[in-house]
Chains A and B, each alone.
Chain A
Amino acid sequence: MKTIIDDKFLSKKNLHFIENGILNSNFPYYWNENQCYNEDGSPDDTGFLCHTVVKRPELRSKEEPFFNSSLGKHFVDILDCFCKKNKIKYKEILRIAVNFTFSVGTTKSLIHNDHDFFHKQLLVYLTDNKNASTFLLSKDKKKVIKKVNPKKYRGFMFEDCPHYMKMPEKGKRIVIVFTFV
């Protein structure tokens, strides 16, 4: 499985957008009672705030605009910068969201895949978090094959793979999530 970690891919324009468009008090987040669902369909016990830029394909009707956020194009610029520098091609963006998590009492998210078909995933961390790492697992979900710590402006791309995150013990963890094919 291909993974890429790139700490310096963001353009000046991207950085300006992140600092002034996302990390400010005018950027709206929406409360979600859970992040994932257990195998029996019950919700997990996490809770987080989210700004959905592009809805998942299964939740997006043909009638509604592609972007769920007026800031959509700035996010695509970030994805394009990463892909251009790292020679990644994509045909379609599946989902973009900004996830804001904090300590809610649970230590980690459920193990999950973002889609049930092959896709690539880019995480762009907007905060430094020593312990709130992302863990990639083997297909059988038994073995951790990669652990990546959030570092501000770090891009971490991986291919379709079960994964989970440790919840921050203190403070906030903000990450942009892109999935694409």
Chain B
Amino acid sequence: MKYKVIDNVLDKESFKIIQKSVLSKNTPWFFQESVEFPKHHKEYKKDMNFYFSHLIFDQKINSSLFEIILPILKFLNYKALIRVKLNFYPKTDKLITHRPHKDYEYKHKGAIFYFNTNNGKTILQDKTEINSIENRLLLFDASKLHQSTSTTNTKARVNMNINYF
């Protein structure tokens, strides 16, 4: 599967409503120790690789935000959802590129929706870099290696990771 980038996925007003909900004081964020760095890795020890997540769907609906983000899911033409997860990467002093990973080993599709514009990126297996631009949707093969990064120019990098068939 070749990747595809869709900009301005939602109309401005709809996007702002969803962005506001996701970044509101009502969204619980759960601390995750490291983005793809094992405990012995030098980057893990620097305490700069933690992030926060919010699981919206994992085989079943896990969050009231599911209803809110439905307009984004409609662009995917999915047969079945595997997982929908929000990621909140805090600002770091230098841009950290996380280790290559596959979301799941088995064949499936992936999408990333970007909630804010920043200098963070998604790096695909062929080294194509997709910039974090708000209201952008990236469609790609998440069973192939890819990488995420932190941000250095906003307080946080917030996106939504979707795995589906």
Contact = CB atoms under 8 A, between A and B. Distances in A.
Contacts of B92: 103, 170
Contacts of B50: 172
Given A28-B29, A105-B155, 20 more contacts: A25-B31, A25-B32, A26-B30, A27-B30, A28-B30, A29-B28, A29-B31, A31-B24, A31-B27, A31-B29, A32-B25, A49-B29, A102-B90, A103-B90, A103-B91, A103-B92, A105-B91, A169-B93, A170-B47, A171-B46
B6 interface: no
Interface in B38-76: 46-48, 50, 52
A32 B156 CA distance: 12
Given A47-B156, A104-B155, A105-B91, A170 B48 contact: yes
A30 B25 contact: yes
Tell me whether chain B's interface is mostly helix, strand or loop, or mixed: loop
Nearest to B32: A25
A24 B24 CA distance: 22
Interface residues of B, number: 23
Interface string A1-37: 0000000000000000000000111111111100000
Chain A, interface SS category = loop
A47 B28 CA distance: 15
B155 A25 contact: no
Contacts of A32: 25
A23 B30 CA distance: 10
B25 A31 contact: yes
Nearest to B152: A105
Nearest to B153: A105
A151 to B, nearest CB: 15
A25 B33 contact: yes
